[in-house]
């Protein structure tokens, strides 16, 4: 087994929020390498393309040395983790509802590959109410989301919704 601690933080990241950034920053202190995996969520209609999401996330985490961002359009997270040499999955948990949802996925992943451990990071209280869906809804109607997303993401949202100055 790989002695280097590599963690995959998978998600659709549409868009990448300050909550996501906080999770990545905290995970980067626990693991040798953190891979932010931009994946396709088949139940959601994305605002940003996979490449746009990768660029926004990569710029947002560029200050963290041991973090890289990849995109993957299809495949099971657990299989992609293996391909990347990751021995941990990182999941951010904001509340009890998130925990119940993530717990079931973690159990399923453990059955598919007992060597890969899921690590839950509890969201900082200041980010526990932030969701990408809410961010998009607020931004769509010209609301100020600058406190909830990195500056580059805020600008990209304004461009997407035709509100750029």
Mark whether 44 is an active-site residue.
Answer: yes
32 vs 20: CA distance, rounded Å: 18
Dihedral of the alpha carbons of 84, 42, 24, 145, in degrees to the nearest 10: 150
The Cβ-side half-sphere exposure at 112, using a 13 Å CA radius, reads: 14
Catalytic one of 5, 26, 94, 155: 94
20 part of the active site: yes
Query: Active site residue: 12, 28, 60, 132, which one?
Result: 132
HSE-CB of 17 using CA atoms within 13 angstroms: 25
Is the CB of residue 164 less than 8 Å from the CB of residue 155?
yes
Q: Which of 44, 49, 62, 126 is catalytic?
A: 44
Q: Which two tokens stand for residue 9?
A: 């933080």
User: Which burial class, exposed, middle or buried, applies to 121 when counting CB atoms under 10 A from its CB (0-12, 13-18, 19+)?
Assistant: middle
| Active-site residue set | 20, 44, 94, 132
């Amino acid at each position: 087994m790989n002695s280097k601690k590599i963690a995959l933080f998978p998600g659709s990241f549409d868009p990448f929020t300050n909550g996501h950034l906080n999770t990545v920053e905290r995970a980067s202190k626990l693991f040798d390498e953190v891979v932010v995996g931009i994946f396709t969520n088949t139940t959601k209609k994305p605002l940003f393309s996979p490449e746009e999401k990768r660029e926004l996330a990569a710029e947002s985490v560029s200050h963290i040395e041991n973090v890289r961002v990849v995109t993957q359009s299809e495949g099971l997270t657990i299989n992609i983790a293996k391909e990347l040499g990751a021995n941990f999955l990182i999941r951010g948990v904001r509340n009890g509802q998130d925990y119940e949802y993530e717990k079931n996925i973690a159990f399923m992943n453990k059955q598919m590959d007992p060597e890969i451990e899921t690590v839950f990071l509890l969201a900082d209280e200041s980010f526990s109410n932030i969701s990408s869906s809410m961010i998009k809804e607020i931004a769509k109607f010209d609301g100020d989301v600058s406190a909830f997303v990195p500056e580059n993401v805020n600008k990209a949202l304004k461009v997407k919704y035709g509100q750029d100055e």
